[in-house]
Every structure is written in structure tokens, then in C-alpha cells.
Amino acid sequence: AVGAAAMEEAAAHNGSAAGAGDGAPAAARPPATPEGMALAYGSLVLMALLPIFFGALRSVSCAKSKNSSEMPETITSRDAARFPIVASCTLLGLYLFFKIFSQEYINLLLSMYFFVLGILALSHTISPMMNRFFPANFPNKQYQLLFTQGSGESKEEIVNYEFDTKDLVCLALSSVVGVWYLLRKHWIANNLFGLAFSLNGVELLHLNNVSTGCILLGGLFIYDVFWVFGTNVMVTVAKSFEAPIKLVFPQDLLEKGLEADNFAMLGLGDIVIPDLRSLTSAPFPYSLKKNTHTYFYTSFVAYIFGLGLTIFIMHIFKHAQPALLYLVPACIGFPLLVALAKGEVTEMF
């Protein structure tokens, strides 16, 4: 729910450090250099595009394979309308938790939760790539994890998961990253988990039609703008939440190397929510029965434009920006203009 966090500079140009949301004073940091900022924001844009592009490709492959165990979950219009409300309640709840209870213990609990989820997400992400590196004579055994309820004719499957030895190897490699994240909270480990979450979100979440995408984006547009500009809730939670729900990149990498700590950040929701399939979900591009990727590339350009505009506005006003404020109009407007030019608006909806 807090995935639609604002894109922001963790340390503003006046040299003040990013606070933990508790109002405590923090030691001043030197302002980021132009080179450092360019590297940080360029890297964030690139990292945002990777899960969108490859997640969309894997989503299409998944649909073609028609593997019921991996079929994406479809978001309906009702789900889309309720999502901003649920997201707001969750965000406010997290904010109150951070204000009332010790931030240390909350983040410890969240770290363990995302440790498990991160390992599973990263394992699922790297599995197709790792399969190419296994030799042909690799002893690959098949396993099945089956958990049922009841007996006889009333027996019901609760969990039915099939995997093999290669999957176990991927799980072991992902566990190494998980331990690294749990012990060090290093920004590279955070980003590996964040990219895995984003790619899985793009791959496994579909909208049932374009209208649903407009409802979802419209609602989250209001949600993001209100919680960033109307209150300090979004920014406070984004800074206090020590979990891989955001991609981060240091602006002082050139000066401090891998131990840099002056971060720019981008919420994962700003990647998954306005992704390429929000307006080009399965029914639209394929229903036209034309061998074209016009809307795919249009949405891709729209996303780059919206994210670039977010960075530019943030740099001008020196304030955290709700990325969906710029991404939503771009991701809706660009494909709509193309549909108008091609006379396909009716088919689009």
C-alpha cells in the first residue's frame, strides 16, 4: 500500500539529512554534487524500466504458456476503486504505528517479513535466467509440496507447489542476498529485493480492461497527491520504513563508494502501478489482431517522460514529489492520443 511512495531526495540540497520521521535532529550532510545527482536519478530511471520491460515480456510468456499455477491475478473495477482507500488506511496505520511504538521493533518485525518474501520473489525472478547456466547433465529432481484439508471426497488442496533441484539452488542463492540484507540493510541488497518485487508485480498482476486501469490510476493519482502534498505521512513512512518497498541509489557514490548513505528513492508502487500493462493490459493490444507494438512503446515513452518530469520538478522545488502526479497523466494521455490518431478509441475501451 505504501508502494506508491513519493520519489524524493533523501537529503535536500540545503544539506539537511533525511530524518527518521520522529522529529529528531540529524547531522548535516554536504549537498549532493550535480554528477552524483545525475548518476543517482539516471540509475533510478534505469532500474524502474528494467522490471517494467522484462516483467511485461514474462507476463506475455506466462499467458501463452497457460500454466494455471502461474497465471496472473486479475484486478477488477471494484478492486481498482477500493485500492486507494485500502492503501490510505494502511499508510495511515503505519504512520501511527511509527509514532506510537518503537521504530526499532517495528522495523525488526518488518525486516523478518520482507526477508522471507524477498527470498521467494528473488528466487522466482532469477530462476529462468539461472536455468541457462546449469549443465545438461545436472541431476535435476522433481519435488512437490502438497498440503490438503479434510479427507476423502471433501479433501481440499490448500498448497500445491511443484519445484525441482534447480529451484532449490536459486532459493539458496536468494537466501544469501536475504541474509546480507537482514544483517547489513545494504542498499544493493535492498534494490535486488525491490527489483524482484517490482518484476513479479508487473508479471503477475493484470487488469481486466482499460477502464479498470483508468479507475485505478485516477484513484491513486488523488491518493499520492494528497498524502505527499497534504500531509507529511507519505514521506515520513517512506523514510522510517526499513524494508525493500523502494529503490534507492546514493547521490554520494562517487565520493564514498559502496558505503554511500545520501540516497534518492523511488517507491515500488511508482513502478508497478503505472506500468506498461496498466493501459495495455491483455485485452487491448491483442484484441486488435495487428502485429504491432505501438501502444507498448508509447506507454514506455510515456513512463520515461513522466518519471523524468518528476525528477525535474523535484530538482526545481527541492521537495519530495508524488510521482503519480506526473506518471498518471502521461501513462493515460500518451496511449489515448495514439488511439485518437489511429481511430481506435472505441476498441481501446
pLDDT digits (tens, 9 = 90+) for 23-61: 333 455 677 788 999 999 999 999 999 988 888 777 767
Q: What is the pLDDT of residue 237?
A: 85
In order of 95, 114, 117, 187, the CA distances from 108 in angstroms are 16, 10, 14, 17
Average pLDDT over residues 148-170: 86
Average pLDDT over residues 193-217: 85
277-281, 302-306, 340-344: least confident range: 277-281
Average pLDDT over residues 186-198: 94
24-33, 85-94, 314-323, 328-337: least confident range: 24-33
Q: What is the pLDDT of residue 12?
A: 36
Contact 216, 286 (CB under 8 A): no
Average pLDDT over residues 229-253: 86
pTM: 0.82
Pairing of strands 205-207, 73-75: parallel
| Confidence grade of residue 65 (pLDDT, cut at 50, 70, 90) | low
Percent residues over pLDDT 70 in the chain: 82
E-assigned strands of 213-322?
246-250, 263-267
Average pLDDT over residues 143-150: 88
Mean pLDDT of the chain: 80
- Residues acting as catalytic residues: 224, 270
pLDDT beyond 70 at 290? no
Q: What is the pLDDT of residue 14?
A: 31
Alpha-carbon distance of 323 to 221, in angstroms, equals 9
